[in-house]
């Protein structure tokens, strides 16, 4: 099953929903011939699936030459937190320390430029963050600060890509990506040769949150697209932690609204620790 899924994924034979249906049909004892007919696959796709063992070996060599490893839904290291996603990715590609997925993990939601207040909040959390792992997106400008902060304080980081490893984006974070897999983990859900697409941004946010145990909304306005991360977290039944903000500053009113809607308020490091303890 694992090898078949990787072949389907690498050759991009369908979207996430298709891939889940593909597995469901195989588990119902549909033959490869029947599955190919169901999806109306081309003769080339049919031949790739029928020869999946050899195809898998060839695919593995391609990724091995680039030091990229593959993690599937069926592997031991696949994080339970991801299974709360709608159609969780059945295959992930990664570089670095996959063991970080067994740690408690937190992602931060913030505007592109962190305010002094947001930096103070992170400083207040640092004792709790020791031994945990920060999950950050390479697409967001705030990641540079969060990544550097984590490195300086001995906190591990997981960097989530918005494209495949060979289509690095954005280029301004190229050094960040190349450094991250040597000290932590870089991960994405795409096979090779997939560029960043704006239409994939919501799915990217879902993956970012799915990889996290807790989501902390440092600051964002009600109109900020970053607030979507918090609502994605609530959909996945994740713990959402929010420090209160000045009532008269726009960049904090999104967080205040979340507190009003029932998010866990952050007043001291104990609040974050309790959220992490309660998270799966």
**Each residue's pLDDT expressed in tens, for the chain with a length of 280 residues:** 899 999 999 999 999 899 999 999 999 999 999 999 999 999 999 999 999 999 999 999 999 999 999 999 999 889 988 988 889 999 999 999 999 998 899 999 887 778 899 999 999 998 888 888 999 999 888 888 888 888 888 899 999 999 999 998 888 877 888 888 888 999 999 999 999 999 999 999 999 999 999 999 999 888 888 888 888 898 888 999 999 998 888 888 888 999 998 899 999 999 999 999 988 7
- The region, left, alpha or beta by phi > 0 then psi within -120 to 50, assigned to residue 84 is alpha
Beta carbons within 10 angstroms of residue 83's beta carbon: 12
Q: For residues 239 and 215, give the distance between their C-alpha atoms in angstroms, rounded to a whole number.
A: 6
What pTM was computed for the model?
Answer: 0.91
Tokens of 219: 């600051």
Instruction: Tell me if residue 136 falls in helix, strand or coil.
Output: strand
> What's the angle, vertex CA 179, arms to CA 142 and CA 72, rounded to 5?
90
227-235 and 250-260 are packed helices; what angle lies between their axes, rounded to 10 degrees?
Answer: 20
- pLDDT computed for residue 112 by the predictor: 76
Tokens of 242: 């929010």
E-strand stretches of 118-253: 133-137, 156-160, 185-188, 214-217, 239-242
Residue with token string 């004892």: 29
Contact between 205 and 229 under an 8 Å Cβ cutoff? The reply is yes
- pLDDT computed for residue 130 by the predictor: 85
- pLDDT computed for residue 164 by the predictor: 95
Residue with token string 């609530």: 234
Residue 245 φ/ψ, nearest 5 degrees: -130, 160
Q: For residues 131 and 124, give the distance between their C-alpha atoms in angstroms, rounded to a whole number.
A: 15
Q: For residues 136 and 176, give the distance between their C-alpha atoms in angstroms, rounded to a whole number.
A: 11
């Amino acid at each position: 099953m694992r090898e078949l899924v990787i072949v389907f994924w690498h050759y991009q034979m369908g979207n996430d929903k298709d891939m889940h249906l593909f597995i469901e049909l195989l588990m119902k004892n549909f033959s490869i011939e029947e599955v190919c007919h169901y999806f109306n696959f081309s003769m080339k796709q049919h031949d790739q699936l029928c020869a999946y063992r050899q195809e898998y070996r060839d695919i593995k060599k391609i990724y091995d030459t680039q030091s990229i490893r593959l993690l599937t839904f069926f592997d031991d290291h696949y994080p339970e937190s991801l299974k709360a996603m709608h159609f969780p990715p059945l295959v992930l590609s990664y570089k670095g320390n996959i063991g970080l997925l067994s740690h408690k993990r937190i992602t931060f939601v913030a505007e592109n430029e962190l305010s002094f207040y947001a930096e103070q909040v992170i400083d207040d959390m640092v004792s709790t963050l020791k031994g945990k792992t920060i999950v950050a997106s390479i697409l967001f400008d705030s990641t540079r600060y969060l990544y550097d902060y984590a490195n300086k304080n001995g906190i591990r980081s997981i960097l989530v890509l918005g494209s495949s490893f060979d289509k690095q984006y954005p280029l301004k974070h190229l050094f960040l990506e190349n450094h991250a897999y040597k000290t932590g983990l870089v991960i994405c859900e795409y096979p090779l040769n997939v560029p960043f697409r704006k239409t994939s941004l919501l799915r990217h946010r879902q993956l970012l949150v799915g990889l996290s145990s807790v989501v902390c909304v440092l600051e964002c306005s009600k109109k900020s697209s970053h607030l979507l991360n918090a609502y994605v977290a609530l959909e996945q039944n994740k713990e959402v932690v929010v420090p209160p903000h000045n009532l008269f500053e726009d960049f904090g009113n999104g967080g205040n609204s979340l507190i009003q809607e029932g998010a866990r308020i952050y007043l001291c490091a104990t609040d974050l620790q309790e959220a992490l303890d309660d998270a799966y």
